[in-house]
A and B are shown apart, each in its own frame.
Chain A
């Protein structure tokens, strides 16, 4: 070998050796130095985290019948954003899928196209990135076929998903109370402090009503599964699994039959008054509750069928639900409606007068009208009725008696504070009493939407006056000294809106003027009156049951206070309200009602409103001696309390006690209790329950 070759062979040795060393170093770097990084990358690649949805708990009525039935079903979904990446826009896949789902290709494409201004139902309302459910409750076989031949069905998934079923009719009768579920937004997720992994962007969360209030308990805990996959994306095994924990069931004190009766009675009353020419009567609310704070029925008009929420709500349905044109059926007027209580308010005024030193046994003059502070206040057109007891004043609902009482109290009530220049001025005696009955603040019911109502105190007046320019009222801008009635009031308010005038005090005493209450507040106040003075925070929920039937949590309405009224005064008022039904303003309404079987006591309310019909109110409780239930109805813009709400309330009492031949919903005034649960964790229907048996 020539020396050159030998030298170059030596160089080749070196080259080969250095290449090998280079490989070794590189290998050290890849495997030892960055091994962990690559290992985690590998883990990420060969495993997939799958969220196992938890089955949402049911919402049950007091007999254990479901109002909302959540099942899990195999749902076939199509991810259009994935399909559209294919050459033919996924047409071939949909052509293969349609016969499998026993649909025509046309039906399937209709389901999966996106709704636009020109494309109307059937179409998909949701996000284009959200898998579109095209078939629910498919068989295991079809699901397997879809999942096992992913090359045939890319972008098509079959998964266990919760399906919400609103039981007819109970579920649909309680739309606002039950609330609804909607896909959660990332902002809400953060707000609720939910783990980000738990929500894929298509998860439903309770957005109102019980669904929102008890969302966490109903939701359960999602499961988390890590599956190993191969390069083709096929699942090859389970690496780790945390089972989903189904949500708890919520047993409510809502009684299906009473709820149905109440909703029917409310709707019927409104339709009736509409047919009599009160076209403005478009809304109302009714409540049946126990005197211990449990809600037995809660109706709001107009109502809607909550099934519209299932599977994506259409724009049209959405604007109907939330639009003012249809009076926003989504509102729960029982807790959100703010109406003048009218004469039902006089129970608080009576209590306030007694607290101010007026005798229960005194005589009070009931003239046709009284003149106070230059204004004339009439007894709703009634002639003078002479002197009467307080009892009679309630029975006959004499306004002038209460005007005088209010004016007298106003005269003694720290007049110097009436020129309200600061929010911390003392509250007047009468309004203090009203606050003591739970008005002017939320009751704390287990529903997320609740209005506060208005008790016009000096403090309230200060803010009302101070903010009038900003809240759109702007008295000083619109008011005219010699303009229309409204303009004159506005001009007055601009000049002296901060001054607590005797007129305001007088009109507030009969539940008008600025006084506003929610039906729930009024019902709750009457419950306290009926039960001897204990004020509860009402509850719809009765208990949370685990999926195996164990009581996780009993829900009892908490006591929030006691009426600042002597027991004897309350008893006096209760007796008076009994007279309202037998011989007073509601006597005509209850004519023929078997009061000997069930003694109902109540109070009518007819709150006048300028430029509209009166708000018809009827608040009642029964039995008179040992009241168990309160039934209340408020229908604004309709007419007299005794004419519109009264008969409807009577009808509800009929249903509860089964007086007119129908089966009693709550025989003998049975108080809702937890349904009986057997050892298997199944709810046993209680005998004689009014609930729908399944």
Chain B
């Protein structure tokens, strides 16, 4: 980071070595540098230490964790679990609550695993994750897929658990795009057009598959994340604008030439105009808004929401979990959730800003864009400013795959954070 300010001399210690124009031109992955920053000189050769000692050592990953990020995520998950409990108290008081706790525990384990990774190795793992996601996304379109609420988004595993490959597809797209955009660069640091082409090409496959499920919400998140990453990668604004323009033009052309079948168009317009279908999505949105509105400033109290008790809001434990918060915790509680989400986004963006390299920056930014866009669309639809799409609220909504993917993303953020420049501001 320091190098950007052009005063590497003043800060010229540690990782500044990668600074300078030459680094941008490298095509090969940066080889792992091992314990690049292992504390006091000679400590690497010190005698074997206890687990506690190792944990507390300066070189320990624990000392390099973003603890406030972790605390925020835990807080959101905890609040989410309570809300899930409240939302399902009428039908099945304990099952969802316990399952969500299990989801969190598994998610935390995945997070720890991701944290322990050297994030730069993710460049290598990215194609693997991408390939697996792609396989999953293809599988859901086959008879293996289980339709839930009209979308073939799920694969039922032999144990009865369900998995939603599109959640992992989001991470795969971020990693792949970050890899291309950080590796294939011009001398001035801006990505080559080829990089953008590759990133787009690799992203478009899962986007199309997801849109085919159809899960337009996830497809939109994927597209937004890709556009954000391309923009952040340093592409000239003119190019960015022309690319977006071309995209819009394509969409308009497709619509104008009636290349879409009527039902496809209908699906798109229904997605854009929930009021056109008052019994379906429009009903959900209206109910959610009434529930949130009736919460007032302080809410009706956890487990005391009347509309929630009457199951008036469809999907109130998953996509519309924010309605539970709105009615039962009121403006104060809902605002706390938004503040927690804000902390999450800002920590992710801070990690991006302090990332050691362009790849780390892009990965962290991608995750931040994903979380922010998904949260905004989710909360926005419950308060009536966004169309209804089947997107969960990160960490808060009930769901295994989403929790695992979210936690994995946080683990990646931590991994990026571990390698940040200690002396960066």
A and B part of one assembly: yes
A residues at B contact (CB < 8 Å): 1-6, 8-9, 12-13, 16-17, 19-20, 22-24, 26-28, 30-32, 34-39, 41-43, 45-46, 228-232, 236
Whether A27 and B188, one on each chain, are in contact in the complex, defined by CB atoms closer than 8 angstroms, is no
Nearest CB of chain A from residue B379's CB, rounded to whole Å: 5
Q: Which residues of A contact B349 (CB under 8 A)?
A: 9, 12-13, 16
Instruction: Please name the residue on chain A nearest to B364 by beta carbon.
Output: A9
B311 pairs with A230, CB closer than 8 A: yes
In the complex, chain A residues whose CB is within 8 Å of the CB of B352: 9
A-facing residues in B151-183 (Cβ within 8 Å): none
The 8 Å CB contact of B345, one of A6, A20, A43, is: A20
A-B contact pairs, 15 of them (CB 8 A): A2-B24, A9-B352, A13-B346, A16-B349, A17-B342, A20-B338, A23-B379, A27-B334, A30-B292, A30-B293, A30-B383, A38-B294, A42-B307, A45-B307, A45-B312
Q: How far is the CA of A32 from the CA of B291 in the complex (A)?
A: 13
**Complex A-B, nearest 3 residue pairs according to Cβ-Cβ distance, in ascending order:** A38-B293, A2-B189, A230-B310
Bitwise, B346-367 to A at CB < 8 A (1) or not (0) is: 1001001101001001000100
Q: Does B289 contact A (CB under 8 A)?
A: yes
* B385 sits at the interface (CB 8 A): yes
Give the nearest-CB partner of A6 in chain B.
Answer: B4
Known: A8-B231, A12-B369, A228-B310. A30 touches B289 (CB 8 A): yes
Q: How far is the CA of A679 from the CA of B349 in the complex (A)?
A: 84
A5 to B294, CA, bound (A): 43
Also in contact, A5 and B291, with CB within 8 A (given A27-B331, A42-B306, A229-B310): no
Chain B residues within an 8 Å CB radius of A32: 296-297, 331
**Inter-chain contact A31/B376, CB cutoff 8 Å:** no
How many Å lie between the Cα of A524 and that of B379 in the bound state?
81
**Cβ-neighbour of B342 out of A20, A34, A36, A45 (below 8 A):** A20
Evaluate contact between B310 and A236: CB separation under 8 angstroms: yes
Q: Using Cβ atoms and an 8 Å threshold, which residues of chain A touch B355?
A: 1
- Chain A residues near B307: list those with CB within 8 A: 42, 45-46
Residues of B within 8 A of A8 (CB): 231-232, 234
Are B338 and A42 neighbours in the complex by a CB distance under 8 Å? no
**Residues on B with beta carbons closer than 8 Å to the beta carbon of A22:** 385
Give the distance in Å from the alpha carbon of A13 to the alpha carbon of B350 in the complex. Answer: 9
Contacts A35-B297, A228-B306, A232-B311; is A27 near B338 (CB within 8 Å)?
yes
Most buried by B among A17, A31, A38, A236: A31
In the assembled complex, B75 has its CB within 8 A of some CB on chain A: no
For the complex with contacts A4-B234, A23-B338, 15 further pairs of A-B residues with Cβ separation under 8 Å are A1-B4, A2-B188, A5-B189, A5-B358, A5-B361, A6-B4, A12-B365, A16-B345, A16-B368, A20-B338, A27-B292, A31-B330, A37-B293, A42-B291, A231-B287
B65 to chain A, nearest CB (A): 22
Question: Is B190 engaged at the interface, CB distance under 8 Å to the other chain?
Answer: yes
**Between A and B, how many residue pairs show CB distances below 8 Å?**
145
* B80 interfacial by beta-carbon distance below 8 Å: no
The DSSP consensus for interface residues of chain B is helix
Task: From known contacts A4-B190, A12-B349, infer whether A38 and B290 are also in contact, taking CB-CB under 8 Å.
Answer: yes
Taking CB atoms, residues of chain B closer than 8 Å to A28 are: 331
| Minimal Cβ-Cβ distance residue in B for A20 | B342
B297 touches A12 (CB 8 A): no
Q: List the B residue with the shortest CB-CB distance to A15.
A: B372
CB pair A9–B345 under 8 Å, yes or no, is: no
Judge whether B61 is part of the interface by a CB distance below 8 angstroms. no
How far is the CB of B71 from the nearest CB of chain A, in Å? 19
Contact A39 B293 (CB under 8 A): yes
Give residues of chain B (264-296) contacting chain A, Cβ–Cβ below 8 Å. 287, 289-296
- B24 partner residues in chain A, CB cutoff 8 A: 2
Once the chains are docked, how many angstroms separate the CA of A9 from the CA of B355? Answer: 12
> Is there a chain A Cβ closer than 8 Å to B127's Cβ?
no
List, in ascending order, chain B residues with CB within 8 A of A5's CB.
189, 232-234, 358, 361
Residues on B lying within 8 angstroms of A by beta carbon are 1, 4, 24, 90, 188-190, 228, 231-234, 287, 289-297, 306-307, 309-312, 326, 330-331, 334-335, 338, 341-342, 345-346, 349, 352-353, 355, 358, 361, 365, 368-369, 372, 376, 379-380, 383-385
Closest B residue to A47 by beta carbon equals B306
The answer to whether A236 and B232 have CB atoms under 8 Å apart is: no
* A38 in complex: contacting residue of B292, B310, B311, B376, CB < 8 Å: B292
Which residues does chain B contribute within 8 Å of A43, judged by CB atoms?
294, 306
Residues of B contacting A236 with CB < 8 Å? 309-310
B4 to chain A, nearest CB (A): 5
Q: CA A9 – CA B353 in complex, angstroms? A: 7
- Within the assembled complex, what's the spacing in Å between the Cα atoms of A399 and B78? 108
Complex Cα spacing A42 to B286, Å:
11
Q: Separation in Å of the A48 CB from the closest CB of chain B? A: 11
Contact A39-B385, Cβ < 8 Å, known A12-B369, A20-B341, A30-B289: no
B120 to chain A, nearest CB (A): 16
Chain B residues positioned under 8 Å from A27 (CB to CB)? 292, 326, 331, 334-335, 338, 379, 383
A13 and B294 alpha carbons, distance in the complex (Å) = 32
Minimal Cβ-Cβ distance residue in B for A19: B376
Bound-complex Cα distance A231 to B296 (A): 21
Interchain CB contact under 8 A, A45 and B290: yes
Q: Name the A residues within 8 Å of B369 (CB-CB).
A: 12
Give the chain A neighbours of B338 by CB distance below 8 A. Answer: 20, 23-24, 27
CB distance from B289 to the nearest CB of A (A): 6
Within 8 Å CB of B228, what residues of A?
Answer: 12
Min CB distance B363 to A, Å, is 13
Provide the residues of chain A in CB contact with B290, threshold 8 Å.
38, 41-42, 45
A443 to chain B, nearest CB (A): 59
A31 to B355, CA, bound (A): 39
Contacts of A16 in B (CB 8 A): 342, 345-346, 349, 368, 372
Closest A residue to B379 by CB, please name it. Answer: A23
Contact B289 A9 (CB under 8 A): no
Q: How far is the CA of A135 from the CA of B293 in the complex (A)?
A: 44
Max chain A Cβ within 10 angstroms of own Cβ: one of B233, B234, B310, B365: B310
CB closest chain-A residue, reference B350: A13
- A26 to B376 alpha-carbon distance, docked (Å): 12
Q: How far is the CA of A337 from the CA of B199 in the complex (A)?
A: 100
How near does chain B come to A684, taking the closest CB pair, in angstroms?
51
Contact B295 A35 (CB under 8 A): yes
Q: Which chain A residue has the least Cβ–Cβ distance from B293? A: A38
- B212 to chain A minimum Cβ distance, whole angstroms, is 29
How many angstroms between the C-alpha atoms of A321 and B4 in the bound complex? 102
| CA A228 to CA B305, docked complex, whole Å | 13
CA–CA, A12 and B297, complex, Å:
30
Flag if A31 contacts B233 (CB, 8 Å).
no
- Bound-complex Cα distance A235 to B331 (A): 29
Q: CA–CA, A516 to B386, complex, Å?
A: 81
Contacts of A31 in B (CB 8 A): 292-293, 295-297, 326, 330-331, 334
Determine the chain B residues whose CB is within 8 A of the CB of A3 once the complex forms.
4
Q: Which residues of A contact B306 (CB under 8 A)?
A: 42-43, 46, 228
Known: A27-B334, A28-B331. A2 touches B293 (CB 8 A): no
